[in-house]
Amino acid sequence: MVPRYDSSLSLAERSGHENGIWCCAKHGRMIDNDTVSYTVAQLRSWKTDAIDLQRRAHSTGDIDPNGRVKLMRATGNEVATRAVKAAMKCRAAIMTGIALADSVKRISRSPSSELFAINQAVKQWGEEITRASTEATEAVMDVMVNWGLRSGEPPGLTALIVLAGYLEEWRSKFTEAMQRIAGLPFTPRKNFGPCDWTAVFNGDVEQCELLQKAIDDVSARVDEWAESYIVSRET
């Protein structure tokens, strides 16, 4: 039986254009396989809306007379831009931590007059990490909601998740190193990421360069995805 078969229609009515709705192969199969969700009334309503949209588009010369596409593209551009900003903040927080580590690892040799400033810098850096981590998490959720994952993961999303992961790993390794300096008990964590984080804390040039290259690469992937999306979707 043909989906939504109506025996009251004549052969001419059944094959007439007024009884037809044209879909791509993917959505045609989806509609044919689900007669409960996609009722005759629903399909006729979509067809009426589509015809009305095309008539207004032809009469006004505007391919998007109701503004839906423009709104979707504007939202997508905003989300892509937010992802780039979040990536930049993650990258900046990691690099700030590398510079700060040089001061912290010399804390036992620092005069008391410098200790307060160092502690304040570490506190401010912790707040910077929290803000960057929060913005990255929100940007990831925005991308997932705006694009969805049914058609494949948006390029750049994985890179942003990886970068946020590097930030959290650096936070934990930095804290671990400070506990070690202070003689406090700690439980060493298994290393995650592109480098030996303890070596980064201790100023190992090779490991610092390895980390720098890794965060540059993932940041570039976020930038490239956002730029290509915004350029390709301009109205």
pLDDT digits (tens, 9 = 90+) for 161-194: 999 999 999 999 998 888 887 788 877 777 778 8
CATH 1.20.120 in the chain: give the residue spans. 72-232
Model confidence, pTM: 0.66
Instruction: Find out whether 159 and 221 touch, Cβ atoms under 8 Å.
Output: yes
pLDDT digits (tens, 9 = 90+) for 68-97: 555 556 677 888 889 999 999 999 999 999
C-alpha to C-alpha distances, 85 to 11, 54, 118, 165, nearest whole angstrom: 60, 38, 27, 16
| Chain Cα centroid distance, residue 101 | 29
The tokens describing 80, both together, are: 């892509």
For residue 226, give the amino acid letter: A
**What is the CATH class of 72-232?**
mainly alpha
How many CA atoms lie less than 13 Å away from 113 in the CB half-sphere? Answer: 0
